[in-house]
Chains A and B, each alone.
Chain A
Amino acid sequence: MSENQNPQTNQRTVTTTAEQPRTTTAGETDERTRDAWTAYDFDGDAKMTVEDLDVYYGDDHALKGVSMEIPERSVTALIGPSGCGKSTYLRCLNRMNDRIPSARIDGSVRFDGQEIYQDGVNLVELRKRVGMVFQSPNPFPKSIRENIAYGPQKHGDLDTGLLARLLNRSDAAERDELVERCLRDAALWDEVHDRLDDNALGLSGGQQQRLCIARCLSVDPEIILMDEPASALDPIATAKIEDLIADLAEEYTVVIVTHNMQQAARISDQTAVFLTGGELVEYGDTDRVFEDPHSERVEDYITGKFG
């Protein structure tokens, strides 16, 4: 880490001198100002704590020294222009970047106080507790019921099938209960309860996305990461997903990447703004960020003066 810190510090100084911080007094360093912009003081506990996170894809320094705490049972929106590193950041939270061979990750990500970037972490277990929903709905080409039951069966939370039945351990009733609960939680039950054995690919895009959310819920996650979950949907389907996200935040910690700033403003409790170069420039209560951003670059970005 120490080798990376010097160039990183220089870079921060260079990038922030271009703007005139409104909150600085003479003599205060830009770096301190920036830290103040991203230091988010919230009530309650942090579900995830990220410290000095750097991500490199080969020579590309995609995320630079990002530190932020994610409050539990709330919606955290990550916004910023294309290539700012917000999706990269999201994917660090359940180690999805491990799947990219050229990716190198420095820094610390703690989930309920436990470091997830250390040897011996069970990635399957991690990704069960930190679920993910992607931009395009990606249901399995199976029935609606099987889409929900697949994860719990795979993780051994449910026993079905021939062997289970022979051993008199079939949990079919429990499975149906789980399917109903997840579909209800994903606000899809009323639309599909009479066709649970139909192929999921026959659902509309918005229904498919809610099915993916239901599937994510079926393994009982604590955090749900969403990467542009509504960008491929029409306004009505989008509105349903947005309402659903608000409901989910009562029980889960939701982190959502979105290109749609109004969507971030509508649905999130706190907003983190990443700008080109992989920096987290500002992080705070969503209403504060959208009414009174402290960084002029953030102001210019969210008012559409650049980007």
Chain B
Amino acid sequence: MPRDRYQHSLDELRSDVLSMGETVTERLDESLEALERRDDALARAVIDGDAQVNETYLELEEQCVDLFALQQPVAGDLRFVTASFKIITELERIGDLAVNLANYALAARQTVTPDVEIDALGTAAHGLVERSLAAYETADAAACRAVAAADDEVDARCQHANEHVTRALIARTDDRWSVERLLDDVSRVLLTIRDLERVADHAVNIAARTLYMIESDPELLY
């Protein structure tokens, strides 16, 4: 096949994006575990590991820019490089959100945290990231649409969790001491829910870019 070196560069980009995706989903997994187990050491490892994610992001960005400048990809190749260029930004943001979650884990105290399904939400958001990356790897358009559809459910669950937490706070307004104690936890839990929702949104963005890559179809982009 002609343009062997070019083909090699494209293959390399694909496997590097997937490898970055693997690292970021691992970080996310660890941050969720740190939250669940209140594991300070694991949380710190996630925070420290973010520098490496950022470095990988910059390296991949350069790979994409080099391909544009030196190889002028067109057609399916152009859509692949463009999609990859956008997907690495999504991955980098998911990495940042994993750092947020790790910080919440460090700040959490064993107090009267409202009882919400953080673990389950985390698992759902994490699952969407994995599914969107699998769709990118196998160029699976149906899987991209499925990720977008599944996100609606995650959004609904997040909204429900938000309401639950807020109601728990309101229910204690008669007990000032309890409200003071709860306030920190409540705001942190609300932030946690918001960040998990954002993780799922980034997964949808990955699916949207992947669908554009496969079918030149922008339907999921906005």
A interface list, Cβ under 8 A from B = 261-262, 265, 290-293, 298-299, 302-307
Question: Judging by beta carbons under 8 Å apart, are B2 and A292 in contact?
Answer: no
B77 touches A303 (CB 8 A): yes
Asked whether A292 and B77 contact (CB < 8 A) given A304-B2, A305-B1, the answer is no
For residue A275, give the distance in angstroms from its CB to the closest CB of chain B: 14
- Measuring CB to CB, which residues of chain B are less than 8 angstroms from any residue of chain A? 1-3, 6, 72-79, 216
* Given A304-B3, A305-B3, A262-B75 contact (CB < 8 Å): no
- What are 10 pairs between A and B in contact, CB < 8 Å? A290-B74, A290-B78, A292-B216, A293-B75, A299-B76, A302-B74, A304-B2, A304-B3, A305-B3, A306-B2
**Are B2 and A291 in contact, CB atoms less than 8 angstroms apart?**
no
Contact check: which of A265, A303, A306, A307 meets B76 at CB < 8 Å? A303
Residues of A within 8 A of B79 (CB): 291-292
In the complex, which residues of chain A have a beta carbon less than 8 angstroms from the beta carbon of B73?
Answer: 303
- Assuming the contacts A291-B216, A305-B2, asked whether A262 and B77 have C-beta atoms less than 8 A apart, the reply is no
Cα A133 to Cα B76 with chains together (Å): 34
For the complex, give the distance between the alpha carbons of A261 and B2 in Å: 16
- Which B residues are CB-close (under 8 A) to A307? 2
Apart from A291-B75, A303-B75: 5 A-B pairs, beta carbons within 8 A: A291-B74, A291-B78, A291-B216, A303-B73, A303-B74
- A81 and B73 CA atoms in complex are apart in Å by 18
Residues in chain A near residue B216, CB distance under 8 A: 291-292
Q: How far is the CB of B193 from chain A (nearest CB, A)?
A: 39
Contact B72 A262 (CB under 8 A): yes
> Is A299 in contact with B6, judged by CB distance below 8 angstroms?
no
Is the beta-carbon distance between A290 and B75 smaller than 8 angstroms?
yes
- Chain B residues lying within 8 Å of A262, measured Cβ to Cβ, are 72
Is the beta-carbon distance between A292 and B75 smaller than 8 angstroms?
yes
Q: Shortest 3 CB-CB distances between A and B: which pairs?
A: A292-B216, A304-B3, A290-B74
Q: Which residue of A lies closest to B80 (CB)?
A: A303
Chain A positions within 8 Å of B74 at CB level: 261, 265, 290-291, 302-303
Name the residue on A nearest B3 (C-beta). A304
Interface centre among A262, A302, A303, A304 (most CB of B within 10 A): A303
Identity of the chain A residue whose Cβ is nearest the Cβ of B215 in the assembled complex: A22
Set of chain A residues within 8 Å of B2, measured between Cβ atoms: 304-307
Interface centre among B2, B76, B216 (most CB of A within 10 A): B76
In the complex, which residues of chain B have a beta carbon less than 8 angstroms from the beta carbon of A302?
74-75
